[in-house]
Amino acid sequence: MRHLSLPLLLLVLSASSSSPAVSGPIALHPENPHYFLWQGQPTILVTSGEHYGAVLNRAFDYRRYLATLQSHGFNLTRTFSGVYCEAPGAFKIARNTLAPAPGDLRCPWARSQTPGYANGDNKFDLTQWDPAYFQRLTDFVAEAGRRGIVVELVLFCPFYEDSMWELSPMNARNNVNGVGTMPRTEVYTLQHRDLLAVQDSMVRRIVAALKDCDHLYYEICNEPYFGGVTEEWQNHIAQTIVAAESDFPKKHLIAQNIANKARKIERPNPLVSIFNFHYAKPPIAVAQNYHLNKVIGDDETGFAGQERVRPYRIDAWDFIVAGGAVYSNLDYSFTVGHEQGDAAIDAPGGGGPQLRGQLEILMNFIRGFDFLGMKPDDTVVKSTPPQGTTVRVLCRTGQAYALYVNGTGLAELTLLLPAGTYQAEWVDTKTGQVAGAEAFRHPGGPRPFPVPAYVDDIALRICTTERERL
């Protein structure tokens, strides 16, 4: 790892010394709620994680998986609760961790004595909890915490196809309670009180089991814009979480998945602190919703065809430098038997050691700034990039500038800077090496920067070297 220069080290020390020494669950930072406060530090969450089956798939060795995330310095994992799973081959994903083998599904409800679950073993009893599931869930979350990893626990997921609804314990075919006779498009509505009661009870049980965890937040539902999920039902589940925690000393953040790509949020739920998007490319969702003063996340990428690295590296840099605070890539190199993330990928997406190494570079780059005081401001750029190339800027005027160039062909970049003395470093996003550096005194106004030769993308770090301005 390259050592930080003196001005960058001073910035890091400044960030640490100015951060509130507050313990408790991960929260929105009181000084800048576009970012998190966790373990007394401003925090951005970045990961390249498995396909959400770490808890519900009994065959998956989550300890090896979490150790791999920790080895890269990642601080997030996203996992499903177990009310939803997939059949082998769904979405053309081979060795899908969300598709447990027969008998390997772990979910909140206990098995009954009645055979007939669609994927092997007995049906479920929706009035009884499975102690083995809750042991696995709480141990997973505890293991993540020991490794400095935040857990985004996704409570529900829509049923994209009938084949997925046919595997759910909430389907009447799979339980002994006669609950769940509706079509899949009515599962996440307020129409069926008996099923809603089951869902509420499950939420309360999970919240109670994890009430003491600091490194945790809840997402209501994955991709609720599919499968008939209603906004009223999502609001109800958020209220259920809040009510369940009302007597607990620790309160956890609630996330809501808003859209694929982008959407301006017109009626934000005041109980929601994290607004998540999927495939947020380009990252206009951040600018559209920045005024809400909440965290904006891109908590799922993937499905970019056979390219395994480049598109996801670009997505991550673009989103974080645009002002996002969560980036989570679907990494299909994590499978049962390959929990260290070295499986050959047979899926319409990416992952693997090379990508994870490049995401480490992004983490190191952004952690080299006191990003809590920075905000997106692309008006700093005064030159016109070539067609198809974008330049994003996250900055604190006159003190620190994080820039990301997405697209080949930029030879010179002109930036508007106030008077001061600065250090500039071009960073290779693939290797983390400094591709060019200069120290300069600037009288104020536009300032051109020659761009080193690069392919696809490159980053620029500019920091003041005037100690009194830090």
pLDDT at 467: 67
| Residue whose C-alpha is closest to residue 93's, from 155, 48, 151, 50 | 50
Type and span of the H or E element at 48: strand 45-49
By the 10 Å C-beta count (0-12 exposed, 13-18 middle, 19+ buried), 464 is classed as buried
- In tens digits, the chain (470 residues) has pLDDT values of 333 343 333 333 333 333 444 579 999 999 999 999 999 999 999 999 999 999 999 999 999 999 999 999 999 999 999 999 999 999 999 999 999 999 999 999 999 999 999 999 999 999 999 999 999 999 999 999 999 999 999 999 999 999 999 999 999 999 999 999 999 999 999 999 999 999 999 999 999 999 999 999 999 999 999 999 999 999 999 999 999 999 999 999 999 999 999 999 999 999 999 999 999 999 999 999 999 999 999 999 988 878 899 999 999 999 999 999 999 999 999 999 999 999 999 999 999 999 999 999 999 999 999 999 999 999 999 999 999 999 999 999 999 999 999 999 999 999 999 999 999 999 999 999 999 999 999 999 999 999 999 999 999 999 999 864 43
Q: Where are the alpha helices (DSSP H) in 166-283?
A: 193-209, 231-244
Chain segment 126-168, per-residue pLDDT in tens: 999 999 999 999 999 999 999 999 999 999 999 999 999 999 9
Q: Is the torsion defined by CA of 268, 273, 278, 281 positive or negative?
A: positive
Q: What is the pTM of this model?
A: 0.94
* AA identity, residue 108: P
CATH for the stretch 377-469: 2.60.40
Domains of the chain by residue range:
20-372, 377-469
pLDDT at 377: 97
CATH for the stretch 20-372: 3.20.20.80
C-alpha Rg value of the chain to the nearest Å: 23
